[in-house]
Structure formats: C-alpha cells, structure tokens
Amino acid sequence: MTSKLKGWPTRVVVTLLYLFLLAPILMVVVISFDTQSTMSFPPQGFTFQWYERLAQNAEFIQGFQVSAVVGAGVALLALLIGVPVAVALTRHDFRFREAMSGFFLSPLMVPAIVLGLALLLVLAPLKITGTYGGLIVAHLAITVPYVVRTTSMSLMTMNRSCEEAARTLGASPWRTFTRVTLPLIAPGVLAGGVIAFLISFDEAVISLFVVGPQATTLPVEIFHYVESRTDPQIAALSVVLIAISVLFMVIIERAAGLKKVLR
Amino acid sequence: MSFLQLDDIVKEYPGTERPSVADFTLGIDQGEFVSLLGPSGCGKTTTLRMIAGLIEATSGRIHLDGKELTRTPVHQRGMGLVFQNYALFPHLNVARNVAFGLEMRRTSKAEARRRVEEALDLVRLGHLSGRRIKQLSGGQQQRVALARALVIEPSVLLLDEPLSNLDAKLRDTMREEIRSIQRKLGITTVFVTHDQDEALAVSDRIVVMSEGVIEQVGTPEQIYEHPANRFVANFIGRANLFDAEITHTANGVAELDVAGLGQLRAVDDHGAKGPATVLVRPHRMQLSKAAAGDAHGTVETVVYVGDSIEYGVRVGDATVSVQSVAGAAERLERGASVRLSWQAEDALVLT
Ligand SMILES: Nc1ncnc2c1ncn2[C@@H]1O[C@H](COP(=O)(O)OP(=O)(O)OP(=O)(O)O)[C@@H](O)[C@H]1O
Ligand SMILES: [Mg+2]
C-alpha cells in the first residue's frame, strides 16, 4: 500500500520541493566561487579569492570570535539554568508550576524585534549593552526555553522507576540526579546545548539592539557589510557558516536523533 | 512489637474520594515471607512503597527493629526493592547495576567486587556480569534486579509483582527460586501479587486486601480453609456460598437450614443463631443422582478437565459448582436430576 503511494509522481514532487528549498543555498555555494565582483547569476568563472579575502577580513574574524565566545557562554549558561528548571517543572509539584512553565516558554511567542527592544530597555540602565555579558543575557532569553523543552522531553520519557531504584539503593537525591537521571537524559541535554549555541550564533535581530563597538557578533557584522557592499565574500562566509551548522546537526543526530529533539 | 511493624497506616492521595490504604496494621517477623494479595487497585503497591519510603503515609507509623522510620528518607532505609518493570539502569552493565548500592555505601572496591560476584552467583548469572541490560532476557533482567536489591544486604526485601512480566513456566521456576534464596538468606520479605496461587505457594503468611483495607491475615491454610468473610472466600480459590439459617449450634458445629438443600451441618466458630452464609469448596461438594421429585437441582454444565469433572448444578436461581474426581463416581449427564450435600467438616459458616 505505502509503496504504491511512494510511486514516481510523489517522488518527483518531493524532489522538486527539496530543490526549491535548497536552491538558494546551492546558489550561494556557486556564487561564492564566482569571479564577478557583485553577487549575480550565472557565474562567469572559478576562484578562491573570496575565501582568501574572508580569511583576511578583520571585522568578520572578530565577529566570528565574539559569536563563538558568546555562543559557548550562552550554551553553558542556558544548560545551567534550563536543566534545573526542567527538573523542577517535571519532577516537582508546586504552586506556581504552570505559571513558571509559561514564563520560561513565553520568549518564543514574542516577536524578536519586540524582545530586542525590551532587552535594550532593561540592559541599558545596567550599562551592559555592547558587552559580552549583555549579549549573553539577551541570548539566554531565547535559548533557555529550548533547553527547558528538550530536557523536559527527556525527563518525561525516561523510566522514572530508575530514579526510585537508585534512591532505594542508597543514593541521595543529588547523587540520584548525577548518577542516574543525568546520564539517561544526556542526549536531550546535549541537544539543548547545541541548539542554544546555534541560535545564539545565528541571532541577528535581538543582537542588533544590544551590540556595541567592543562586542559585535558575526550576524550583525554581516548585516552591516551587506548594507554597503555586495561582493561574493558574503556568499563565501555563508558557505562556511552552513558547513558549521551541518556539523552541529550531525552531532545532535548522532547523540539523540534529530527527529526526537525537534518533535 | 514485630521486626517490621506497621501501625494504622493511611494513604490518601489528594483528589480521591476514599483512602487508597486505610488503617493498615501489620507486624512482620524477622525472616518471614509475607504476601500482600488482592485485586488490582486494592492498595498493595501503595503499601509497599510506603514501607520503602518512596511515598509518605498520610498518617500512621512504621517501625523497623524497634526504631521508628516513618520520617526516614528512602535512601537511608536500607530496604531492597524489586520493581515490576525491574528498573535496571540502562547505561550500566550487569555488574555495575548490581554494584550501584555498594558504591553509594562507599564499600571498598575489592569488597564490592567480591559481593557483586556473590550476588550474581546467587541468582546464577555470574557468567553475564559484563553484559549490557538490553542484551538480557526478561527472566535474566529479573535476576539482576534481585541481585541488585540483595547485594546491599537489605533489612527487608520488597517485591512488587516481580513475576508478572514473565511467561507462565518461568514464573513458576522464578517463584521457587526467590523463595529458596529468601530461605537461604533468612531475609524478611514482603511480596506483592494479585495471583492467589503464587501467594499460596510461597508465603509464610498472606495479607488479603480489598479497597485499601486488610480483609484477613493468615497462613495459606488458614486463608483457604477458614476465610474470614465472603470476599476472602471468593478471592482465594473457588467457592460456593449458600444462604442458610442456623437453628442450633453445639461443639462448634451448626445445624443449618440451607435454602434449596434442606437440613445440613457445618463447622461454626461463631456460635450465633440466625441467618448466615455457608462456604463449601467445589471439590468438597457431594453430588448424587436422584429421582425428579426428590432432587435439589439439575445438572446444567459438564466439563471434563482430565483429572476431574466440573459440574454446574442449577439450584433455584443459583448455580453451584461441583468438582468430582473423574472415574471415582458415575458420570452424570446434562439435565440429570441430582441431590447435593456435604460433610459437616467440609463446610464453614462465615460471618
Ligand atoms: N499517584 C496517585 N494518585 C492518585 N491515586 C493513586 C495514585 N497511585 C495510586 N492511586 C490509587 O490508589 C489505589 C491503590 O493503588 P495501588 O497502585 O496501590 O494498587 P495495587 O493494589 O498495587 O494494584 P495493581 O494490582 O493494579 O498494581 C488505586 O485506586 C489507585 O487508583
Ligand atoms: Mg501494583
């Protein structure tokens, strides 16, 4: 039955759909090797020069470093906040549980531009806009919810009697968590961390509000760059970023299975 | 006070209309094997988990070896619990699973290794100590769970329907094995089951529960031969219950006027006159062919089950089960008119 449904018309449609979705990415890859000095199609020749220039572009390299540091910090802190919150939400019953659950998921429902403005209003008086700290705090607002979600999912699907067994065998609540719960939910936690990093690394809208001269992230640098110039260096940079994203996705897939995490 | 003493334990889950366990009082002696037996939802697991400390009793007290442990947290109770689904740690291999409780007690490496080996040998799994949990059969997982609970030398072993996930044949071997290990170690054991045969076969004493309360506590013989009430009589083994009127009692034997069957006698420990219920097990019923005018009822069903024949006899609007040894008596056909009776010592007056 299903094999009939997967006959050639379906296959053609699915293939076309994928091509349509992937076309822009393929185009970017092609353009990044083009000899023309503005991004246009079809390509006129083949060169590595845009990659070479990219490697010498101080702003991009600086931005990359800022984004990597911020992303790592965000991933770490999002885990340190998100995992305990997920444990509280799934393992304990308390008066404001529902409210807390809503609170931790709400940033995902607010448009990024509104959130960016709100964060600016909060962070500016604290004088931490334009710093690593400010960026990290801003990004935590949108990444903690993801960590809470992936971790909660793992906590809800794991066999709870394993925790109870550990307790009867003499493990204190804390050791039960570190020796049994954490190893069993590790794939979900790791996935949450990687997603947090990627979101932080990719985030432009909120960052635009809170970046400053000392700390400007890569997406913001790109944004500024394309405002004035349109050479294929951007395409080359995009290819590098795509490669990094794919690498991370492979890590998640290996650790937990993408489908499970994105459910 | 017994070794493990439960006094007036009550458990009320919020939002339920009746307590899941009520007024539960029971003393268990050291080395005793006690089963909690009852239908689904009667509160067996709840009781067991309160003993283990996994859930807190709404009220009541638990003492172990004279010391109160009602408020002692789970991990300091030192009880071994075997879960229905085994709850083995999937990220650890067999030996590490068994060693877990010893690691928590900071037992030295060498001693831990020796005790893990001993425990695995006890459940005859010594050869599988390096296996992953996923690579074990249900019966093997069961044994690992048992070894993991026993290796910490628990004061009490608690088993929650440990055999219900095994197939029938394995269930019988495992229950014998659990019982023989229990005897060998002399460990006080509370065994939860809803299977009466299992409870009768392994227990020193059985606690029959229904709807959160204890119906009867006694040895398997007491429970079977002298059920305290209709519920126990019906739940343990098969039972015919007759309405009767006690006309006279002397020396523990009551003269009865049984509805539909006439004058009969039964064992009676109560000595009260008036209406009563009489219990007679199917294999203690006597059945004989009779002339139609003289009969109590007619044979409705005849089932030949090899060792015996099971008759369903209609008396008035009730059906009485009779089990007779095949070949010992004349086989009756469906529709035959019969008389029913019993020996006084085979019948029991219930309250
Ligand atoms: N967490 C809970 N919240 C509310 N009610 C509960 C909870 N756990 C159990 N109960 C109720 O308590 C009663 C006893 O449950 P328990 O699990 O002890 O039964 P059981 O005798 O072990 O049954 P089974 O043979 O099905 O395992 C049931 O009516 C059940 O619905
Ligand atoms: Mg149960």
Residue A146 pLDDT exceeds 70:
yes
B52 and A168 in contact by Cβ < 8 A?
A: yes
Which CATH number fits the domain B4-231, given the four candidates 3.30.505.10, 2.40.50.320, 3.40.50.300, 1.10.340.30?
A: 3.40.50.300
- With the most atoms of ligand 1 within 8 angstroms of its CB, the residue from B18, B44, B54, B83 to mutate is B44
A172–B contact, CB cutoff 8 A: yes
- With the most atoms of ligand 1 within 8 angstroms of its CB, the residue from B17, B35, B45, B55 to mutate is B45
When pLDDT is cut at 50, 70 and 90, the band that residue A109 belongs to is: confident
Contact B260, B316 (CB under 8 A): yes
Question: For B139-185, what is each residue's pLDDT tens digit?
Answer: 899 999 999 999 999 999 999 999 888 888 888 888 999 999 999 99
d(CA B263, CA B340): 11
| Average pLDDT of the segment spanning A47-70 | 89
Q: Residue ranges per domain, chain B?
A: 4-231, 238-350
Residue A258 pLDDT exceeds 50:
yes
| Average pLDDT of the segment spanning B287-306 | 85
Lowest-pLDDT range of A232-241, B24-33, B89-98: A232-241
Q: How far is CA B149 from CA A130, B42, B87, B115, B159, in A?
A: 57, 25, 11, 12, 10
pLDDT for the residue numbered A259:
55
Residue B312 pLDDT exceeds 80:
yes
Which H or E run includes A189? helix A182-202
Rg (CA), chain A: 22
Q: Which chain B residue shows the shortest CA-CA distance from A165?
A: B87
- Which atom, in ligand 1's list, is nearest to the CA of B212? 14
pLDDT for the residue numbered A168:
96
Residues of B in contact with A180 (CB under 8 A): 89
pLDDT for the residue numbered A156:
92
| Average pLDDT of the segment spanning B275-294 | 87
Identity of the residue in A159, A170, A183 whose CB atom sits nearest the CB atom of B87: A159
pLDDT for the residue numbered A58:
86
Q: What is the pTM of this model?
A: 0.82
Identify the CATH number of the domain defined by range B238-350: 2.40.50.140
**Residue nearest (by alpha carbon) to ligand 1 atom 26:** B40
Q: Using alpha carbons only, what angle is made at residue A117 by residues A116 and A122, rounded to the nearest 5 degrees?
A: 95
A170–B contact, CB cutoff 8 A: yes
Task: Tell me the backbone φ, ψ of residue B55, rounded to 5 degrees.
Answer: -130, 150
Q: Using alpha carbons only, what angle is made at residue B37 by residues B33 and B42, rounded to the nearest 5 degrees?
A: 135
The DSSP result for B57-100, as a single string, is -SEEEEEETTEE-TT--GGGT--EEE-TT----TTSBHHHHHHH
d(CA B237, CA B243): 19
pLDDT for the residue numbered B216:
95
